[in-house]
Amino acid sequence: MILVTGATGHIGGAVVRGLLALSHEVAALVRNPEAARRRLPRQTALRVGDYEDAPALKQAFTGIDELVLISSDGDAGAIQRHHANAIEAARAADVRHITFTSIIDVGETSPFYYAPAYRDAEHRLANCGVPSTILRCGLYSDFILDTWLTPALASGELALPAGHGMMAPVSRDDVAAAITAVAAMPDKSRALYSITGGQVMDFDEIATCYAETTGQPLRYRPCSASEYLASATARLDEPWPEAFATLCASIAEGRYASASSDFSALTDRPAESFKAFLARVFS
Ligand SMILES: NC(=O)c1ccc[n+]([C@@H]2O[C@H](COP(=O)([O-])OP(=O)(O)OC[C@H]3O[C@@H](n4cnc5c(N)ncnc54)[C@H](OP(=O)(O)O)[C@@H]3O)[C@@H](O)[C@H]2O)c1
């Protein structure tokens, strides 16, 4: 039995559907069973629990062989606590293996707001006694579109403190396909994968790609962190201005600048390019 967390979300839901299509027995960790019932295939077993509720997590994970732990969201303190609770509950419930979605940029010197929380989860996984596989994921194409490109349309200018740093965007659907492949794999001896798109590009190229696909003018302008923070704090709640500004700093430092072949090796196909992703979304 494979249990998927975050199953009412984009990636978790796609992993549930992918594993069911491969004829696995699948359970989903959900907070609201009625809402989950509407969103997930009928044959999905529902286990109820919140990442904040450690006893409920242990009960939900009882009898589970494989835990697919989709990373949580919120401020860094909450994320760190949620992952710690889930990993400890998996250990206490005698789960046999954990697949976890981490991030590419977990370096000790990373400026990224979330890097310490993900380092903490990776450290806990290495020391909890349950074998695990970590998928370090690059930036989601969907995240780049929703967080940065769409809001920039009104002005036609994408101003970010990312310099000419490169990244290899990967779609959430492809991340889900990679997680599904790892969770379904009988041999889980490999401990670490990097899940990125196949091509690296900077925000100049991303903005050009967007303008060509949609016909809407968009131009990238590198700006300072203080300029970005001034405009982001006027629009966004905490912790997003700091989280996004430090993510841009990390991109500028080249921490997202490599494309891995792990996705193709896992799925036997190339990752969807950013251009193809946009064409799909705007078709
Ligand atoms: N690499 C990137 O570019 C990038 C960008 C953004 C996010 N991420 C990470 O990727 C993860 C998955 O992305 P996504 O698009 O699939 O997210 P999503 O659609 O927002 O789904 C998040 C899921 O987490 C569940 N969840 C949230 N808080 C929870 C809690 N306290 N206890 C139990 N479940 C909880 C939600 O359940 P409910 O339906 O009950 O709310 C939902 O099922 C995110 O959570 C985030 O960690 C990565």
- Which residue ranges form the domains of the chain, and what is each CATH number? 2-138+172-197+258-269 (3.40.50.720)
What would the pLDDT profile of 68-95 be if each residue is shown by its tens digit?
Answer: 999 999 999 999 999 999 999 999 999 9
For the CA of 11, the closest atom of ligand 1 is 16
pLDDT of residue 12: 98
CA pair distance 97, 102, nearest whole angstrom: 16
User: Which residues lie with the beta carbon below 6 Å from any ligand 1 atom?
Assistant: 6-12, 31-32, 50-52, 70-73, 82, 103, 137, 139-140, 143, 172
What would the pLDDT profile of 111-165 be if each residue is shown by its tens digit?
Answer: 999 999 999 999 999 999 999 999 999 999 999 999 999 999 999 999 999 999 9
Nearest to 33 by CA among 55, 66, 56, 65: 56
137 close to 175: Cβ distance less than 8 angstroms: yes
The protein residue with its alpha carbon nearest to ligand 1, atom 1, reads 139
CA pair distance 264, 197, nearest whole angstrom: 9
Burial (CB count <10 Å: 0-12, 13-18, 19+), residue 148: buried
pLDDT of residue 212: 97
The protein residue with its alpha carbon nearest to ligand 1, atom 36, reads 6
Name the DSSP letter for residue 156.
T
Q: Which pair of structure tokens corresponds to residue 63? A: 């009898």
In single-letter form, the type of residue at position 223 comes to C
CA pair distance 42, 218, nearest whole angstrom: 43
Strands 157-160 and 219-222: parallel
CA 9 to ligand 1 centroid distance, Å:
6
CA 178 to ligand 1 centroid distance, Å:
17
Q: Which long-range contacts (CB under 8 A, 24 or more apart) does 231-239 make?
A: 231/159, 235/151, 238/75, 239/75, 239/76, 239/113
pLDDT of residue 21: 98
What would the pLDDT profile of 24-73 be if each residue is shown by its tens digit?
Answer: 999 999 999 999 999 999 999 999 999 999 999 999 999 999 999 999 99
What would the pLDDT profile of 192-239 be if each residue is shown by its tens digit?
Answer: 999 999 999 999 999 999 999 999 999 999 999 999 999 999 999 999
Q: Which pair of structure tokens corresponds to residue 41? A: 């295939």
CA 64 to ligand 1 centroid distance, Å:
21
Q: Best substitution site from 48, 72, 85, 112 to test ligand 1's pocket, by max atoms within 8 Å of Cβ?
A: 72
CA pair distance 195, 29, nearest whole angstrom: 23
In single-letter form, the type of residue at position 96 comes to R
pLDDT of residue 102: 98
The span from the first CA to the last CA of the chain, in angstroms, equals 37
What would the pLDDT profile of 5-15 be if each residue is shown by its tens digit?
Answer: 999 999 999 99
CA 217 to ligand 1 centroid distance, Å:
31
Q: Best substitution site from 50, 51, 67, 70 to test ligand 1's pocket, by max atoms within 8 Å of Cβ?
A: 70
CA pair distance 110, 91, nearest whole angstrom: 29
Contacts of 5 (CB under 8 A, 6+ apart): 12, 28, 29, 51, 67, 68, 69, 70, 86
What would the pLDDT profile of 253-262 be if each residue is shown by its tens digit?
Answer: 999 999 999 9
DSSP string of 30-48, one letter each residue: ES-HHHHHHHS-TTPEEEE
Question: How far is residue 161 from each of residues 28, 67, 108, 145, measured CA to CA in Å?
Answer: 38, 37, 21, 17
Contacts of 53 (CB under 8 A, 6+ apart): 85
